A and B are shown apart, each in its own frame.
Chain A
């Protein structure tokens, strides 16, 4: 008995020691960017170093542009710029850590629909003076709906990113598939691809991950639906209306009709792109910045005329409505070098570098004359066409909570796909939850 007790005590102590060791091994302190050695005198910001967060995966085109921009800024002001690439699915976590006092940027690229959230967290510096004058005054004000809050502007639109369907042009040619003009043709094309290329290939990839609403939104808006509408000072959910339901049915149908595997209900655009690069996807909805990364990921095998875009077709034919995506550039609120950061934003979003950012990165320029010039470009025409019809998600700081964190609609879709609820039940529950989240302060 006594020995058993001693054993028990030893076991406890050992277990506790393990527990404490586990507690002790916390995260390593993040190293702060080392300040560059200063060469005194000379240009305005000589010896200073700015940290600049670029979002997405670094690809050759984007990297070349960023290097040139940074070199130009260094030439003009003497300040060095340290560039860090943040993959899209990590962006909100990185911003959260930075706003909580961790290592943050001085200047950051930011998705336009994220601006209201990070403004509400007081993480962005107002830069109204930048958009008031200079080149930036030419950017149409209707492109700044998400960026302007209570009369102050917190980010400058940098490039518009509407979405279109990226497809394997070589497979289409091989299987004699025409570019789909209606939704039914798209479904037929996807099935034909799966038949020829194997059942583990997604004909048209279902996106149920962090950016699922880019796809669902396009389908729902095209069918005449809305997520939520602000009536007075309250958001009213519109998920249960017929238009949204129709788009939602098309969306879940991608899996229930077998166009995309049930095994990957959580995949986001980044994961779909990787599968596309590995010959596992026939079509998916994305923006043109994926082209360069796909070439890199597939080690140069999938590029050029093997892949192309077409505008997402609506049910009756004609182009679907795309989501008004876009990337902005902003000054981070905790920057210690706000003047230099603002000058950097001014340079980057000016007409020369702003248009170059868009054209080099496969986005649409926010300057009207440059955008008009794109209508003749066959590669960009699908996006320019979609941009003309683009719509934005509810402009509310809580949108990110519904969109990514609580994944309200992804969850509704999962329930329908797995047969746990009918579309009506799932959407009614989602509608209530969306209203609660958007109306929470």
Chain B
């Protein structure tokens, strides 16, 4: 949802150089020069407005109302509740555990995805042409798997009785398993039972599916760095780690900035994988999206409180993203 606002920002940004050439064309069309960028923005804004802003406004309105099935089917008008949905949601323990799960998950999954993705990106850059292509195709398969299928795959791998993970852990020599984990028998270990182990599996699942995109983006950025810089660094006696810190990272900073924002947005609102892995019956494992969905659509549906949770999630995301982007621009100015 919010990612599109990044587009309008990015789009506006990159169009600035065009302004210099604008006057010549403006004379031909009869529009004042200053208006050209705005006119060009109109189609995009209309699409964003209809597909994003309007539903978003509706969601905010619903979050202040009592909306259930009776109201949806038009038998009764929606009644205005003021802040009641919000106070109810904030009073509920499930909200706070969901918030904790959402934030902790993003805080772990985002850095993991970025670090792993960058590492693989750098590796791809150093590989030969054929090998690099081979690895890219391989990892892109993981990225191409739809979220629901990702959930199904990992749920099956971590199944307590028929799962490959427990089977593999049982294959470890007993002394090794005992030394590492303090136990030798993994038969029936219920991975998808406790909230913490559900989230462990979810982190693996999400990182697995999203690092290829980071890797390929970083690779694209690396291709753009002139080889002379690295040569110069080598001549000056810089080691690989130093080269990465002093050359690669600063030059790729804009790429990392965008990737970080995108990852934060994606990981904050992860839903399908969690829904498949944990189901709706374990409320300790809810994240905010999951809590919003159960409130809004499970019997008896309370779309008002569901919308209130969604608004809270949106606001959190906007704040995190805005703070991050601000930080980024500040650093660029310095």
Contacts and interface: CB of A to CB of B under 8 A. Distances in A.
A400 B300 CA distance: 7
A405 B75 contact: no
Nearest to B295: A405
Interface stretch (B27-35, B130-138, B231-239, B250-258): B250-258
B160 A398 contact: no
B298 A200 contact: no
A16 B72 contact: no
Interface stretch (A53-61, A95-103, A218-226, A304-312): A95-103
Contact of B255 (A11, A13, A19, A334): A11
A234 interface: no
Instruction: Name B's interface SS.
Output: helix
Interface string A182-196: 000000000000000
B58 interface: no
Contacts of B284: 411, 414
A265 B262 CA distance: 36
B125 to A, nearest CB: 13
B299 A12 contact: no
A266 B298 CA distance: 17
Interface in B158-188: 160-161, 187-188
Given A13-B7, A334-B73, A266 B255 contact: no
Contacts of A334: 73
Contacts of A405: 294, 298-300
A357 B104 CA distance: 52
A209 B300 CA distance: 18
A74 interface: no
A7 to B, nearest CB: 5
- Assign chain A's interface to a size class: 35 or more
A92 interface: yes
Given A4-B253, A120-B300, A16 B4 contact: yes
Interface of A: 1, 3-13, 15-16, 19-20, 23, 92-93, 95-96, 99-101, 117, 120-123, 199-200, 208-210, 261-266, 334, 397-398, 400-401, 404-407, 410-411, 414, 418
Interface of B: 3-4, 6-7, 10, 14, 51, 68-70, 72-73, 75, 94, 160-161, 187-190, 193-194, 213, 217, 220-221, 224-225, 251-255, 257-259, 262, 279, 281-284, 294, 297-301
Given A7-B254, A8-B255, A265-B193, 6 more contacts: A13-B10, A16-B7, A96-B299, A96-B301, A263-B188, A264-B190
9 cross-chain pairs, A with B, having the tightest CB-CB distances, nearest first: A3-B224, A263-B190, A263-B160, A92-B299, A405-B298, A99-B69, A8-B254, A121-B69, A266-B281
